[in-house]
Structures are given as C-alpha cells and as structure tokens.
Amino acid sequence: MIEAGQMISVLKLDVEGRETWRYEAKVLKVTERAVLLVAGFNRPEMMFHGILLGEGDPFIEIYYADRWYNLYEIHDKGDGRIKGWYCNISLPAEFGPDTVSYVDLALDLLVYPDGRMQVLDEDEFAALELDETRRENARRVLLELQNWFSEQNNLRLEEVNLEA
C-alpha cells in the first residue's frame, strides 16, 4: 500500500496499455480509493495554451481508483500562484506498492484561474478505438468536470476531501 511521504512513479499508459510517460512524485495523502501527490514539471519551459509551464513547477495531482479522471493543479515554482488546472479523462487509476498508473483516453479539460475552460484533444479522442460504453463514460465525465469547475471558488486540490 502506498503511504504518505513515499516517493512513487506515475505511469501514463495509452489505450493499448503501453507506457507513454513516467515521472516521480511524492505522496501527500492516501485513502483506499485516492492518492494526492506532488510532482515537479519535468520538461523544459514551454507555453501550453497560454500558460507558461516552467521546469520544476509543482503539480498537485489527485488520482482516483473509482473515477474516470485525474486532476492536476499547476503552481508557479517561483511564487506558488495557481496557473490552472488540468483534467485527464482516463480509466480509473491503479495503485501498486510504489506506482500509480492510468490509461489516458486523450480527452482533457484545461481550466484557467479566471474560470475559462478549454476542452483539448477531441480529435485524438475521436480517433481512439473505444467501445461505445467507454466513449460515453468519457463524455459524461467531461461534462461533470465542466459543471464541477463552474461551481468552484478558490479551489485548492490539497483541500479536496478524497473520501467524497
């Protein structure tokens, strides 16, 4: 079982189960069905849909074993301000003794601090070979996340009840 304070690997998998990305993260909180992590952005500085991502920017991340998404809260490494939230639509995460893995379904939601939202990678999602149930679940979850974010004020993922 993963424990708070532990360093683990996060594995992003494609729909065929192949690893497409791996990085290290520190566990902040853990419950039976969710894990809260912090990881540093491990790529060179880049613009991402109007948000400057800097190498080492802290990402607070939540993975759920029973939900079709994971959430990232993007912070600035210099002043700690929130730059935005990124939601991966995915199959529920799996927790190993020292890993969190998830199957990415390509569809993403980017939420800016001013509340604007942008759906990303719809073309990649449409191209995936998914059965209709998975496709419908992904679309339903995207709508749920859009509704949830539209109701949030001063959201901090570290304060989200992982049991709710």
Question: Which pLDDT score, from 0 to 100, does residue 1 have?
Answer: 81
8 A C-beta contact, residue 21 and residue 37:
no
CA 138 – CA 107 distance, rounded (Å): 8
- Return per-residue pLDDT of the chain as tens, 164 residues: 899 999 999 999 999 999 999 999 999 999 999 999 999 999 899 999 999 999 999 999 999 999 999 999 999 999 999 999 999 999 999 999 999 999 999 999 999 999 999 999 999 999 999 999 999 999 999 999 999 999 987 788 888 888 77
Question: Which pLDDT score, from 0 to 100, does residue 11 have?
Answer: 98
Give Cβ neighbours of residue 13 (< 8 Å, ≥ 6 apart).
Answer: 19, 20, 101, 102, 103, 104
CA 45 vs CA 49, 50, 89: distances in Å = 13, 13, 24
Domains of the chain: 7-154 (2.40.380.10)
In terms of Cα–Cα distance, which of 12, 48, 38, 27 is closest to 121?
Answer: 48
8 A C-beta contact, residue 11 and residue 5:
no
Question: Which pLDDT score, from 0 to 100, does residue 159 have?
Answer: 84
Amino acid at 14: D
